[in-house]
Chains A and B, each alone.
Chain A
């Protein structure tokens, strides 16, 4: 036997499900059934039952092949080749194409065959060392984008698209996007990243609340924890956009979110539990005005800044007091052009607001300097590839405040695709490094 299974085991799974489809939801009973139907392959039976316990049948039922593979690797510590073979076997069995005894051993070992469901297995390469070699998840164009950095300075991108919420470790994204969640009405949702916490977190909003998943790096792979509900809106309300998070090295996470795009609610996820407090942050919007974007970063261990963009094109900043857990008053940063997107990042120990105009120009502002009256808006030179692309509509940035020598990262998304580039501070402005075009399947 070269692969993880005997051919009889793969056939046995199909036969077991034909005899009793409820076996897919009862892993231990399934394992016993496979012991009966493929008694010579105890290992294969355990692996297929493990896949059932990890929820692979349900994920395949939703068409989430890459997530099924990742779930086996992440939660069940499966080797990539074993996970791929298990997903293949389940896909075939659930598809109903399999008949007992029809499989050839070399077909199974090769991970293919004329009866395999077309397209279902695309992207799963058993030899890929955990990463899908094919396209895997294809998130599409982001409607919201976030960037955060690992301690070594490597970027992670989170994107909300019409397909759901996704993350990718690094900018070489082909075949490496991971689905975080499906969300209802994606245009109404947002996501945020925090990698200062250990493990890292990705948070997002959905109709029924704010959720979070842990993020870890295991070798070259991004490992996602199980989703957890952080906050639930009152009856009849939803968690909408924007959302912002602030992570602490101790693992604490603060989340600012909204149900009405007017008022912000603070949810703190601490070791001792989760606490939600509305009304700690003063309202930023005027009459009839709504929040479009929200960003949050630390400047020192004690202080941070909030930046919001409204649907009237205003950019407002407020100081955040970490020990007191409260925000100061909002101040209008008065950008020289209407921003279509904005972000906030602490690079080289200076907190910058970065804005994109309708023409695609990038502007930056030293926030503290501006509010102290000595700094103004500057143009950020865009790399040629970015200048040549249509103007971006989404902007995100991230940096390690605890590693000021490392460059930050800036990401833009729009009709020209997704671009990500390192940024460094040069005096009171920002300089962009070479951009990478981030694959999204579009």
Chain B
């Protein structure tokens, strides 16, 4: 990443790839949304984009980098539980490591932004989830005070539970994979506009 282009905003996309996303075309819509999101990120400029996923465990699909350089996002087959806690812990570790690396490279960083795309609430035990959320909060605070993550989920999801995770709520239109894809893109736009609620 260039050291002359000014500060960048790391943007993290955390995707739910659990088994239930096979239902109702959610996984298809999520996959269709990825090119839309990457294109939008590239057009926006000044962003670094990373894509992470969580099922029973979490993994990194695309390491943080210039979205214009992203040519391929690996397709993940739905499977496993919905361990958002695993996702949040990976996210916290990634934020710390990425910011350290960018800083070491002389790249200025704006506060990171996080969009989580899920088909519902997680399956984690509440205590483990809240611990992971606290870990992420600490990582984000250490890196400049980010807005709360934006949690994009089907509109019927328990909004109170999302509030309990101290995340913004974005209702997804899951009528078809296509509407879901554009809805995820809408959530991404909201994130870039700085609105988490």
B81 touches A39 (CB 8 A): no
A33 touches B22 (CB 8 A): no
A22 touches B125 (CB 8 A): yes
Q: Which residues from chain B contact A26 at a C-beta distance below 8 Å?
A: 125
Instruction: Confirm or deny: A141 has a beta carbon within 8 angstroms of a beta carbon on chain B.
Output: no
Contact of A37 among B19, B120, B122, B125 (CB under 8 A): B19
Contact of A39 among B22, B56, B121, B125 (CB under 8 A): B22
B118 CB, min distance to chain A CBs, angstroms: 11
Q: Which residues from chain A contact B2 at a C-beta distance below 8 Å?
A: none
A42 CB, min distance to chain B CBs, angstroms: 7
* Contact A19 to B20, CB < 8 A, known contacts A32-B82, A32-B123, A36-B81: no
Q: Which residues from chain A contact B78 at a C-beta distance below 8 Å?
A: 39
Interface string of A14-52 (1 = CB under 8 A from B): 001001101100100100110111111010000000000
A32 touches B23 (CB 8 A): no
- In angstroms, Cα B36 to Cα A342, docked, is 84
Contact of B23 among A20, A23, A39 (CB under 8 A): A39
Contact of B123 among A29, A39, A40 (CB under 8 A): A29
Instruction: Confirm or deny: B194 has a beta carbon within 8 angstroms of a beta carbon on chain A.
Output: no
Instruction: Confirm or deny: B45 has a beta carbon within 8 angstroms of a beta carbon on chain A.
Output: no
By beta carbon, the residue of chain B nearest A36 is: B19
Q: Which residues from chain B contact A35 at a C-beta distance below 8 Å?
A: 19-20, 23, 120
B1 CB, min distance to chain A CBs, angstroms: 36
Total inter-chain residue pairs, C-beta < 8 Å: 43
A37 touches B81 (CB 8 A): yes
A19 touches B19 (CB 8 A): no
A36 CB, min distance to chain B CBs, angstroms: 4
Interface string of B8-32 (1 = CB under 8 A from A): 0000000000111111000000000
- In angstroms, Cα B123 to Cα A42, docked, is 16
By beta carbon, the residue of chain A nearest B20 is: A35
- The interface size bin for chain A is 10 to 19
> Interface of chain A, helix or strand or loop or mixed?
helix
Q: Which residues from chain A contact B123 at a C-beta distance below 8 Å?
A: 20, 23, 29, 32-33, 36
- In angstroms, Cα B114 to Cα A129, docked, is 54
A36 touches B20 (CB 8 A): yes
Q: Which residues from chain B contact A19 at a C-beta distance below 8 Å?
A: 56, 81
Instruction: Confirm or deny: B144 has a beta carbon within 8 angstroms of a beta carbon on chain A.
Output: no
Q: Which residues from chain B contact A33 at a C-beta distance below 8 Å?
A: 81-82, 123
Contact of A32 among B20, B22, B55, B56 (CB under 8 A): B20
Instruction: Confirm or deny: B80 has a beta carbon within 8 angstroms of a beta carbon on chain A.
Output: yes
B19 touches A32 (CB 8 A): no
* Contact A32 to B120, CB < 8 A, known contacts A39-B19, A39-B23: yes
* Contact A42 to B19, CB < 8 A, known contacts A29-B123, A32-B120: no
Q: Which residues from chain B contact A32 at a C-beta distance below 8 Å?
A: 20, 82, 120-123
Q: Which residues from chain A contact B22 at a C-beta distance below 8 Å?
A: 39-40
By beta carbon, the residue of chain B nearest A20 is: B125
B154 CB, min distance to chain A CBs, angstroms: 12
| For the complex of A and B, 6 pairs with smallest distance between CB atoms | A36-B19, A35-B20, A36-B18, A33-B123, A39-B22, A39-B19
Can you list 19 A-B contacts with CB-CB less than 8 angstroms, sorted by A residue number?
A: A19-B81, A20-B123, A23-B123, A26-B125, A32-B82, A32-B121, A32-B122, A33-B81, A33-B123, A35-B23, A35-B120, A36-B20, A36-B80, A36-B123, A37-B80, A39-B19, A39-B23, A39-B78, A40-B22
Residue numbers of A with Cβ under 8 A of B are 16, 19-20, 22-23, 26, 29, 32-33, 35-40, 42
Residue numbers of B with Cβ under 8 A of A are 18-23, 55-56, 78, 80-82, 120-123, 125
